[in-house]
Structure 1
Amino acid sequence: MFLTKDEVTELTGYQKPSAQIRWLQAQQFGFVVGGDGVPKVLRQVVLSRLGDQTAQKKSPELRLK
């Protein structure tokens, strides 16, 4: 569901939550700040932003001519 603290650190390049929040805002990644002050990032947000093929697949649509 959410990235781990280590994954957020790897994504942002920062260890301090305040710096991670600034980076996430600058890059326009959606996140929420938990009660512990640490940003929570949905794994699906990152996968879709970074080009995960399964996140971009659309269901087939029937076209009638």
Structure 2
Amino acid sequence: MLLSDDEIQSLTGYIRAADQRRWLDRNGYRYALGARGKPKVARDEAMRHLVGSDATHAITEPDWKHLP
């Protein structure tokens, strides 16, 4: 799943594709280029940067080892 154009604009603070790409490069985001030169950012990539890499691998079950 990809971020929408509006989400990329909100993330980077820029409207122009060249400015968005520069911001993404400076902040270490991986992205693909669309046919018109617009960056395409995966939602998972944005989450890794915004929340941290462990957020995508959150533990969803209780840790039973501490119970008697």
Structure 1-normalised TM-score?
Answer: 0.80
User: What amino acid is aligned across from residue 49 of structure 2 in structure 1?
Assistant: R
Query: Runs ≥4 in structure 1, deviation > 6 angstroms?
Result: none
- Name the Cα RMSD after superposition: 2.1
Q: How many residues align?
A: 60
Structure 1 or 2, whichever has the larger Rg, is 2
Find the counterpart in structure 1 of residue 66 from structure 2: none
> The residue matched to 1:45 in structure 2 has which SS?
helix
Segments of structure 2 that go 5 or more residues without pairing to the other structure are 62-68
Q: TM-score, normalised by structure 2?
A: 0.77
Calculate percent identity across the aligned residue pairs. Answer: 32
5+ unaligned residues in a row in structure 1: which ranges?
61-65
* Partner in structure 1 of residue 15 of structure 2: 15
Distance 1:58 1:29 in 2: 25
Report the Cα offset of residue 51 of structure 1: 1.0
